[in-house]
Amino acid sequence: MSARILDGEAFAARTHRETAGRVEQLKSRGITPGLVFIRVGEDPASRAYVSRKEKRAQEVGIASRTLVLPETTPLAALLKEIDALNADPKVHGILIQAPLPSTLPNDVVYARVSPAKDVDGFHPLNFGKLLLGDPSGFLPCTPAGILEILRLGEIPTAGQHAVIVGRGQIVGRPLALLLARKAPGADCTVTLAHSRTVNLPSLTRQADILIGALGRPLFLKKDHVKPGATVIDVGVNRLTDPANPRGYRLVGDVDFDSVKSVAGSITPNPGGVGPMTIALLLSNTVRAAEDLSR
């Protein structure tokens, strides 16, 4: 048996077409959705991620730009830049590209972005709305993108056991809340596992839907997976590879080559969750423009 591939690129293309249509409707009213990325420092991965997001934004008609600040930028200066973007009516979405330098406290920086422009879904107010089931908040893009993969891939969720390996604030915890909601595309029984979970394979083999979000390269192997399960790989990890011109290769948290022979459906990596994360970011940006223009 070989698993069915859940093609994130194809799913994202569908979402981008819908987003582009909404952009055209806004432009017919004289409104161009605006998205600003803030990148602090010259981390190569961050540069690549922001470049990819900017390209996709421009393709769907969103006006996007990147504010690049030096690695040594003090907190007060960064907060001043965020305040200016919060006050700019042409800016509808603001994204702080992670990781930030260690000198900058993530919680303070993310909380400074206006909740109405927090298209990444990291502001405490938006996270609180997620916890309370309030749909007026922005959902974090990667968890929301995973739900879209399950929906577009026609993966049943109601009554299914979802095991999430990874309890981080960006993916694991919000995804657990989303999958456990009483709502279409959710209604799962959710187990949130992590690096200290005892006898992890015996737990993951119970999963109808298994999500790897631990941040450990090729961690989930064939013996972690129940035959026929849906496997979603969130991880982005660098492995040294002298044969690669870049000197490294990117791999996920799932050992794709071994797991695909057991799983019923699986996301590739790259080409799975990543494209859907960007698609949901742009959809959130258009929604912010729609909300702010009412």
Catalytically annotated residues:
53, 97, 120
Mode of pairing for the β-strands spanning 230-233 and 209-212: parallel
Which residue spans within the chain are E strands per DSSP?
Answer: 4-5, 34-40, 63-69, 93-96, 161-165, 189-193, 209-212, 230-233, 237-240, 248-251, 265-266
| DSSP per-residue letters across 220-269 | B-GGGS-TT-EEEE---EEEE-TTSTTSEEEE-SB-HHHHTTT-SEE--S
Mode of pairing for the β-strands spanning 93-96 and 34-40: parallel
Return the amino acid letter for 288: A
Beta carbons of 36 and 68 less than 8 angstroms apart: no
Cα–Cα distance, 86 to 112 (Å, whole number): 9
**CB within 8 A of 52, min separation 6: which ones?**
278
Nearest Cα residue to 268 out of 7, 52, 10 = 7
Residue 257 CB neighbours (<10 A): 9
CA distances from 122 to 59, 101, 139 (A): 25, 17, 8
